[in-house]
Amino acid sequence: MKTKLQKTYNIAIRLIIIILSFYFLYDQLFYRKDLSSLPDTLTLFSDKKNFYLFITIVLLLIPVNLIFETFKWKFLISKLEKVSFANAFKAVLTGISVSMFMPNRTGDYFGRIFILKKADRFQAILSTLLGSMAQLITTLLFGFIAVAFLYPQYIDLVDMSLWLYVGLLILLVITAFTIVFAYLEFAVFTDILRRITGREYNRIKKYAQVFSWYHSHDLLKVLLLSIGKYLVFSFQFFLLLRAFGISVTYFNGMILIAMVYLLMTIIPTIALSEIGIRGTVSIYVFESWMQLTGGWSETTALGVVTASSVLWLINLAFPALLGVGFVPSLKFFRKTPSS
């Protein structure tokens, strides 16, 4: 009887996830933001130089982006359970689907761990968290670089401003070094928990020890994979900007994109709403910069928003749709306890 109930609950939860994923995608694509006008917008820019070349490269980079994330998660989760690349890839896609209707991409954790057959699920969440931390640190590091280069563009570096800028650079360098060092030495967190909790440590030992499994070289590998993924989707954004008529050099484009992602990181969002927030933040950053250099217009604004929207479609909406197809393979209740 218990097995039948578990089977029923599994089916019910899968259906709920599928329905919510489709509903929120439909709501975003055809109701709130109404991207039905996107084909006309694409046609408007299709006569731009190298338009089709840029779009083709962007599309070819979609699996590269996902492969970086798959290798990262597969490596992290291997401490708990050996997972094939195919299953890890399915887990990543499923996580994107679930994250569409959950705040701050928390669905990534829940969508992935239910692919696992034996591993303790809470331990799996903690391992997955280390991958998310590496991606966050990467965004912050590139964001700090963007701040360092953009600050002089908006403020005249004279008198006290120059000293403020030097102080800012020192602060950014110290902060960057601190967060990277703390991450690479995260295994120490297990010892910190042991000292803080004292006798109560035995209650959380099973989960606290997860962090001790990953040594500095392990976390460095995860961080490098995160940087690789960041460079891929940032490059996609840059190519889309060029495709939609934004005249910006690679260096300036990547700096502005890094600032967009830094601001996006600060703003709590549901992944679904990112398309609107991403567009707003992108316009703010690029308009502020182009007002100094010239060239801002309604067409430019349309190009920035379109590039942002297309990037969201190919890197989130499209994988989310694929991930829905793997939701039926998720098992929320197991027949036997995890080992």
Which pTM was predicted?
A: 0.87
Q: What is the pLDDT of residues 141-200, one digit of tens each?
A: 999 999 999 888 766 555 557 788 888 899 999 999 999 999 998 888 778 777 887 777
For CA atoms 10, 12, 17, 21, the dihedral sign is positive
For CA atoms 226, 228, 234, 237, the dihedral sign is negative
Per residue in 91-115, is it b (16+ CB within 10 Å) or e — as a string?
Answer: bbbbbbbbbbbbeebbbbbbbbbbb
**In a 10 Å sphere around its CB, with 0-12 CB exposed, 13-18 middle and 19+ buried, how is residue 58 labelled?**
buried
Contacts of residues 230-233 at CB distance under 8 Å and 24 or more positions apart, as own/partner, are 230/135, 230/138, 230/139, 230/142, 232/61, 232/64, 232/65, 232/68, 233/61, 233/65, 233/311, 233/315
Is residue 208 within 8 A of residue 193, CB to CB? The reply is yes
- Reply yes or no on whether the pLDDT at 69 is more than 90: yes
User: What does the pLDDT read at residue 216?
Assistant: 93
When mean pLDDT is compared over 173-182, 288-297, 324-333, the highest value belongs to 173-182
User: What mean pLDDT, rounded, does the chain reach?
Assistant: 84
Residues 6+ apart with CB under 8 A from 324: 17, 18, 21, 22, 97
pLDDT band for position 272 (50/70/90)? very low
Cα–Cα dist 338/329, whole Å:
18
How many CA within 13 A on the CB side of residue 141?
19
